[in-house]
Amino acid sequence: MQGTVASYDAATRSGVLLLDDGTEMRFPARAFDASGLRLLRLGQRVHIDTDPDGTVVRVTLPTMI
């Protein structure tokens, strides 16, 4: 699944993604930490990995899949 960064708080390492269908999806710090990234920018495209419950477990750049 892919989306766009709608907001990102570097202090908490969490934020909100906007999916292609317009749905907002929050991601926790542990999902950002699992990516190995150092920063996300507003409007940046990302790949989203979720667990069976739909919780975001990793946010990566589409080229890092």
**Structure confidence at residue 64 (pLDDT):** 59
pLDDT of res. 26: 96
Q: How far is CA 1 from CA 11, 21, 46, in A?
A: 26, 11, 9
65 residues of the chain, pLDDT tens digit each? 999 999 999 999 999 999 999 999 999 999 999 988 899 999 999 999 999 999 999 999 987 55
Q: Determine the residue type at 14.
A: S
In this predicted structure, what is the pLDDT of residue 62? 87
pLDDT on residue 29: 95
User: Could you give the domains of the chain?
Assistant: 2-60 (2.40.50)
